[in-house]
Structure 1
């Protein structure tokens, strides 16, 4: 092979390795995971994120727990932030049924680990058919308006970015409606279905956590979760977790100069939200639980 061709080949190989490294380092803008089956592309960019101040060095559960706890949520409901809080409080890594390389190199080394060596396992899917996969579940519920908007932002700007106004106005060639309107209609069905299946079809115990309650009283919400999974921590550990509760995994709320939701969207959001709230109340009554976290008011506003 001529020398010139060899040099070009070597340059191509170097460039490929460089692109792979850049992809791995892109902060919290992970690849379009398989659980997002939409025609939206993630935005990739390289930014330097501050280091995470962990309360203690992260470790694996030893010995592994005999039962695996699912951490269930609709995308955009704060799953990554709750995983971060749990890792801060306990020092134990949390797993996921997915492989998000950007999360793996930014504080979540147990991506794609789903056994008892992790504290909880992230999933956005319906309950698995196999009864032995998860013995219990933490169901994190967020107002569908905020969850759907947050995930739309993720699809355009990654885990911590915000979609530009133009993204809400774009129309597809196949439909007269905007991509945003189509997205809201489709995802609202998925939001309701996910919660209905875990509240009515899952055989194990379900601990409901409202994102809004997690924000309002992080300490109490974390204590409830740790009690549910029967994991005890010291007061010092909890205080440390609360002092670093913001971290880098919670998207900063950016005020927009427009409301992306129409009156028709709000009506649909209210109907679906109220049906899910009724399911939560029915589940808690059926299992002789008090209606926790002032349930009726958690998804309001």
Structure 2
């Protein structure tokens, strides 16, 4: 009787499935005919949610889905479907700064979960770290800028009856277009506007027709603040150019200015967390996406090796660069500085680090000066004092531009608007050039020891007067034409991120131990 009831029950279920979907009936019947092992442990075979995410997990690599999500989305999705966390290791947020200043993978991420009793506890999610898709990051950045444009338009109090406002409003968020299509249309509009300006100058017209409402098509050049303009990737017909610098020498500052002037995304061979600062080209080094790529090689090794055919070497005096690097590694952030008391307490740690880092600083720059590719040498000190001149030099060299008319207009507009002091996290800190010598971190004995090994390199970059610790007496004239070009061999290339780093084991500082000791000192001070 029990067997008959079971058959009747199964038959009724199959009949219902057949009525809903014949394919489900065949699948169910086939499964009934197959022997089922009663020894299967349900814990070893967790039941997956019955929705499209189950299909993604079975048919696709689920981690690829996480590849296109940001940190918040990843954690929320992982908490909503915890079984996927056991099945696949998802990717998580970009990693923090590693011990050598680079980026390290984060094997586990802590997240708060609520227990059955209502209490919150920290749980660890197993994770792996791979860089997010740059194209997705760029689309998100441009979308955020479009949203800011709408708010900007509201602040301008444009009325719907105003013809100029109508054109402006249509250009804020073009319907049925992707952010890439909008960015391309705006770039074309800038080119059309520049050609009009040239034509008007040739005809010696007194007034410029900045906005031509009779112009057909989508190429309407509407002026936005430069921080709200959309960016594009730029396929490069040759090997890329690199922006090489020792850490904390203004690399990210120069990238920001370059992007806002050219409206082109810059790449990076690192996997850092700079995407929060709108630098979305992290881990992008291919010539089919970017033309200008950040690197700290050979101070550290970034992404897999790639070819370059020219380089911009951005130099900063070693005293300020090492003091800024010390701040970065001690606080593990790009924006926080040590207090005066913390500096005094860690003076011995800084002195030990400086003796190692001064050798890295010297060998890093000598390495690039010895390369055979075309090289442009610029200085951080000139960048913050003569921004427009240095940016023009970089664009002309990097893009191999002969006529700079269009970019001169862009530089004039962007630099005038931005004011380097307002560039957010990567603006120069207060104190000016040589500020590190007034913090008490460099004793006279330490300076004399450091200078003995870098005299020749300092002279090459015009820093010889900085070897005397009197910043008030420094004149520090800019480099010739705000940048020195060194011709390389014709059709020469070099490989980045190969073998041979200038930071060996003896030049390594264990920053984890240093930060742990600083935290213990702070705890002891609070307890007293």
TM-score, normalized by length of structure 1? 0.71
Say if 2:312 and 2:376, in contact at 8 Å, map to a contact too: yes
Over residues 9-53 of structure 1, what are the superposed CA-to-partner deviations in whole Å (9 max), with x where a residue is unaligned?
xxxx76986xxxxx959xxxx71147427xxxxxxxxxxxxx895
Asked if 1:213 is matched to 2:363, the reply is no
Q: How many Å apart are 1:54 and its aligned residue?
A: 1.6
Give the root-mean-square deviation of aligned CA atoms: 3.6
Say if 2:313 and 2:377, in contact at 8 Å, map to a contact too: yes
| Alignment partner, residue 227 of structure 2 | 54
Say if 2:355 and 2:450, in contact at 8 Å, map to a contact too: no
**Structure 1, unpaired ranges of 5+:** 2-12, 18-22, 38-50, 172-176, 282-289, 296-301
Q: Which moved more, 1:66-75 or 1:160-169?
A: 160-169
Query: 1:71-110 to 2 correspondence within 5 Å?
Result: 71-101=243-273, 103-110=274-281
Over residues 186-236 of structure 1, what are the superposed CA-to-partner deviations in whole Å (9 max), with x where a residue is unaligned?
111100010011101x22111000111111111111111111111454333
Structure 2 CA distance for partners of 1:80 and 1:131, relative to 1, 3 Å: closer
| Separation (CA, whole Å) in 1 of partners of 2:439 and 2:408 | 43
- Pick from 244, 250, 253 the counterpart of residue 427 of structure 2: 250
Asked if 1:194 is matched to 2:364, the reply is yes
Structure 2 CA distance for partners of 1:271 and 1:65, relative to 1, 3 Å: farther
| Alignment partner, residue 260 of structure 1 | 441
Structure 2 CA distance for partners of 1:272 and 1:85, relative to 1, 3 Å: farther
| Alignment partner, residue 163 of structure 1 | 338
Say if 1:77 and 1:211, in contact at 8 Å, map to a contact too: yes
More helix by share: 2
Q: Which moved more, 1:135-144 or 1:51-60?
A: 51-60
Query: 1:19-34 to 2 correspondence within 5 Å?
Result: 24=93, 31-33=96-98
SS of 2:284's equivalent?
A: coil
| Separation (CA, whole Å) in 1 of partners of 2:374 and 2:323 | 29
| Alignment partner, residue 190 of structure 2 | none
Q: Which has the higher contact order (CA 8 A, sep 6+)?
A: 1
Over residues 67-121 of structure 1, what are the superposed CA-to-partner deviations in whole Å (9 max), with x where a residue is unaligned?
21110111111111011110111011111110112x1132111101112222311
| Separation (CA, whole Å) in 2 of partners of 1:155 and 1:123 | 18
| Alignment partner, residue 123 of structure 1 | 295
Q: Which moved more, 1:241-250 or 1:263-272?
A: 263-272
SS of 1:88's equivalent?
A: helix
User: Which of 1 and 2 has greater Rg?
Assistant: 2
Asked if 1:181 is matched to 2:351, the reply is yes
| Separation (CA, whole Å) in 1 of partners of 2:99 and 2:373 | 26
- Pick from 101, 113, 116 the counterpart of residue 284 of structure 2: 113
SS of 2:244's equivalent?
A: strand
| Separation (CA, whole Å) in 2 of partners of 1:278 and 1:258 | 24
Say if 1:71 and 1:121, in contact at 8 Å, map to a contact too: yes
Asked if 1:203 is matched to 2:377, the reply is no
TM-score, normalized by length of structure 2? 0.42
| Separation (CA, whole Å) in 2 of partners of 1:266 and 1:144 | 11
| Separation (CA, whole Å) in 2 of partners of 1:95 and 1:111 | 6
Over residues 149-201 of structure 1, what are the superposed CA-to-partner deviations in whole Å (9 max), with x where a residue is unaligned?
11112223421221223443345xxxxx721111111111100010011101x
